Structure 1
Amino acid sequence: MTKPITEEAISEVYSRIAPAKSFCIAELGCSSGPNTFLVATELVNIVDSLSRKHVHQLPEFQIHLNDLPGNDFNSIFQSLLPSFQAQLSQKMGPGFGPCFVYGVPGSFYGRLFAAKSLHFVHSSYSLMWLSRVPPGLEMNKGNIYMASGSPANVMNAYYDQFQRDFSKFLKCRSEEVVGGGRMVLTILGRESEDASSKECCYIWELLALSLKEMVSEGLIEEEKVDSFNIPQYTPSAAEVKKELENEGSFTINRLEVSQITWAACANNNIMNGFGNSNNLGDDGCVDVAKCMRSVAEPLLVERFGDFVIDQLFDKYRAILSDRMSKEDTKFINVTVSMTRRGS
Structure 2
Amino acid sequence: MENTNKGNIYISKTSPPSVIKAYHEQFQRDFLMFLKCRAEEMVSGGRMVLTTLGRRSDDPCSKECCYLWDLLAETLNNMVVEGLIKEEKMDSFNIPQYLPSHKEVSNEVNKEGSFVIDCVEVFEVKLSEEDAQGTNMGKTMRAVAEPLLLSHFGESIIEEVFTRYTNVLKNHLSLKDSKLVNVCVTISMTRKG
- Is the TM value for this pair above 0.5? yes
Q: Distance in 2 between matches of 1:197 and 1:178?
A: 38
Say if 2:138 is the partner of 1:289. yes
1:225 is paired with a residue of what secondary structure? Answer: helix
Residue of structure 2 in register with 1:305 after alignment: 154
Amino acid at match of 1:230: I
Contact 1:137–1:154 (CA<8 Å) still a contact in 2?
Answer: no
1:311 is paired with a residue of what secondary structure? Answer: helix
Q: How far is the alpha carbon of 1:175 from its aligned partner?
A: 0.8
Identical-pair percentage: 52
Contact 1:301–1:309 (CA<8 Å) still a contact in 2?
Answer: yes
Q: Distance in 2 between matches of 1:335 and 1:309?
A: 34
- Provide the TM-score with structure 1 as the length reference: 0.54
Runs of 5+ in structure 1 lacking a partner? Answer: 1-135
Say if 2:105 is the partner of 1:218. no
Residue of structure 2 in register with 1:251 after alignment: 116
Using CA pairs below 8 Å that are at least 6 residues apart, which structure has the higher relative contact order?
A: 2
Change (3 A) 1:276 1:300: closer
**Correspondence list, 1:263-342, <5 A:** 264=127, 269=128, 277=132, 280=133, 285-326=134-175, 327-342=178-193
Amino acid at match of 1:302: S
Q: Distance in 2 between matches of 1:169 and 1:323?
A: 36
Runs of 5+ in structure 2 lacking a partner? Answer: none
Contact 2:53–2:182 (CA<8 Å) still a contact in 1?
Answer: yes
Q: Distance in 1 between matches of 2:130 and 2:149?
A: 31
- Provide the TM-score with structure 2 as the length reference: 0.94
Q: How far is the alpha carbon of 1:260 from its aligned partner?
A: 2.1
Q: Deviations over 1:147-190 (max 9, x none)?
A: 00000010000111111111111111111111111111111111
Amino acid at match of 2:98: Y
Q: Distance in 1 between matches of 2:118 and 2:130?
A: 32
Q: Distance in 2 between matches of 1:305 and 1:167?
A: 33
Q: Cα RMSD over matched residues? A: 1.4
Amino acid at match of 1:300: L
Residue of structure 2 in register with 1:158 after alignment: 23
